[in-house]
Chain A
Amino acid sequence: MAKKSTMKLWLLWIVASLGAAGAFGYVMFEAGDKTVFMPGPLSNGHHQLADACDSCHTDPLGGGEVLQQACIDCHGEERVKPHDSHPRTKFKDPRNADRLEKINALQCVSCHVEHRPEITRKNGVTQPVDVCYHCHVDVGENRPSHVGMAFDTCANSGCHNFHNNRALYTDFLVKHMDDADLSDKPKVPLREFGSVIDEIMEYPRDHYPVEPLTLADKDAPPEFAADEEIDRDWLETAHAKAGVNCSACHQPRDAQGELTAWVDKPGVEGCNSCHNHEVARFKLGKHGMRLAADLSPMRPDMARLPMNDKAAHAELTCNSCHGGHRFDAAYAAVDACLACHNDEHSVAYEASPHAELWQAEVGGKADAGTGVSCATCHMPRIDFDVNDWMSRKLVDHNQSATLSPNSKMIRPACLHCHGLGFSIDALADQSLIDNNFTGRPSRHVESLDLARADQERYLREKAEAAQ
């Protein structure tokens, strides 16, 4: 009797196990939603992709190499362009094999583990705070100014970043150590897309020659062609003036160059044929990364930052900020942001000195490029290599690129108007960030002082040697 009962229990256990394995197997290989396997919440940088596990886990059975490739696919370019100071190739060199044994710097996950909120710090880093010690223990021998510094202070804002030190390397600090807080002619570069169209190989000039169009040239099918407001917006803005007809956005051409079916409300694909770099950069940032993963557009109610309740369900595509036919860049640069963002920094913008400058510019009382909008800092106009041979000023629609560490914002944004020391101090002052830079920095980062001391020592030694 007892034997029979045991057999039954075994049978039940086997059937239950097989059922559970089958169910999990189905979810892993077939089902769209795989969140049942999620080991913990995602970091702030990736939480928008919580319902798209296969964005990173591209192969259900893949190991570390699959995850590494996923990191590179999205972040690879960001590592290369600013001249990564710790590139992979440095650690591939056999002479650094001993260093790899301590920290496997070839793998992004060595410092950026996902699904571990309990150990995730600012900038998505999860390694110990004194990680620099392993390779730079003797830094004091070459930099007397660094003797006695604790190794958990290296990456403080304004001193060093692991990857991007373009605004923080010693000679740059020396070059800018006497900068005034505010430059004589504070002004950001102007947009230049219209003037470089002739140099853009992929621009569809065969179908849309760069010549002004009139209402008579409009090529929308008759059933979509009778809206005076749309006509006016189109004619008064850059598209009609540059020969961009209705079909350019509403009927993106296929690989053979043939017009596709009319799309009444085109998504980012409508913009992509001319503004491909803007779209690609948009998809790399927090605004567009869901589109890159073939998910529905990002909405404010999915955000972790405070957002306006009224905009909770607004979907983020190009048209969210640029409108359908007026695509007003001035609206997109401030009003569009504030329609959703409701955190302390955003709310404080309108009463800030930056906003005052912006109002003067859009009101025609100051030169173009002298105002400071949200986009001035968060979507700066950068020198972007559109290919191996050409660079142009691009409005960087990856607004996450300079967010963390925030010292990445210094060169593309702050330095157009402010000195380096002022910028470093301002970005290290959380209360100043919160009130949207109304006032002066109350924090001081010593990096410039250390560079000055090193420079003075070098000049003194050089003078002594000359004598």
Chain B
Amino acid sequence: MTFSRRTTATGALAGAAALALVITGCASSGAGDEQTGADGDITLTVATFNDFGYTDELLAQYEEDNPGVTIVHNRAATSNDARDNFFTKLGAGSGLADIEGVEVDWFAEMMQYSDLLADLSDPEVADRWVDWKSEAATDAEGRLVAYGTDIGPEAVCYRADLFAEAGLPTDRAEVAELLEGDWDRYFEVGDQFVEATGGAWFDSAGATYQGMINQVEFAYEEEDGTVIATENPEVKAIYEQVLEASETQSAHLAQWSDDFFAGMANGDFATMLCPGWMLGVIEGNAPEVTDWDIADVFPGGGGNWGGSYLTVPAQGANVEEATKLAAWLTAPEQQLTAFDAAGTFPSQVETYEQDALLSATNAYFNDAPVGEILVNRSEAIGVAPFKSVKYFPINDALQKALTRVDVDDTHTIESSWEQFVAEVEALG
């Protein structure tokens, strides 16, 4: 049998196409390795997730100031995706971007392998961050392996209309005064609110617990890594306090569930704990509501929820150039640009005195001076919780324990705690 000319032509074309695919496939995946061109041009890859506030304009500006540098920015959808990707490729020893964004949630896990990351210590940037932010990124040998981007100082967001309904003050200064104090005070006002309206005071036990546990320095682990979560009376006390309050005060919404987002818009609860980045979440999910406001107060002092870092994996081909870019991205000026773009509250001390931050207001929250409030809240943060390797699996298990009682209503406070203890033991 002979091929007709047409078949041959088609075959050749198909073959060529397949070949082209293979070649381009290799080329695009190999781009990370082959970065030095004829005239010293280099490509730096930056991998982030969610929204770090690094706009195309911002990156273009760096390219302009540094001729020969091209920046490729890859954004993963969620921090979990980024985490899976990060650990898989860190283990494989290749494939990571030149600069990798890391969330504080899995930062402790990453710090175990700090020797796989480049040392970024540099006297020039040493005093840039709030102390606890850079301390957390310094490993046992004193190497600074990550540059802080944003932090999440927490305030209290509240629904002015529901406050009015309950006969509570609605002005944000008065609300701040009303809630001033510890968590007992917060739940006490909650009782007043529930009695007056019958509605829920806060969104979920899980979120509230998060605010409380972040004020404990050694919650789940001791400094040497010994797990004390199940025996620590402080943890148990907070767990019980929040669940006892949640019985009447919680809207019983699982954090980040569809119901939770719907609840934000429907006025299911009167208050929620509000790190800087939460403002965007509320506005995005309840765009029609005009009664959300933010008060310059946080029960028990201050607290931090979330925040990220930039790291430079040592496996990269352009560690030096990447370090330079990471330093630039986390410099106060760029952090202010990012705050503008995505509301990521800077961890750079210098920005807290700058007018651009202090005078920032948020139209959605009735023109609240969010810059000033968050700066105050950031200064109130007194404790940086110690988070070692097991912190997050344990916290995860505890969140599930709270959900079982608060949302699912399948367990009692005691039986859920017992299951939590069993799960922590299984982590061993």
Does B bind A? no
Q: Which residues of B contact A (CB under 8 A)?
A: none
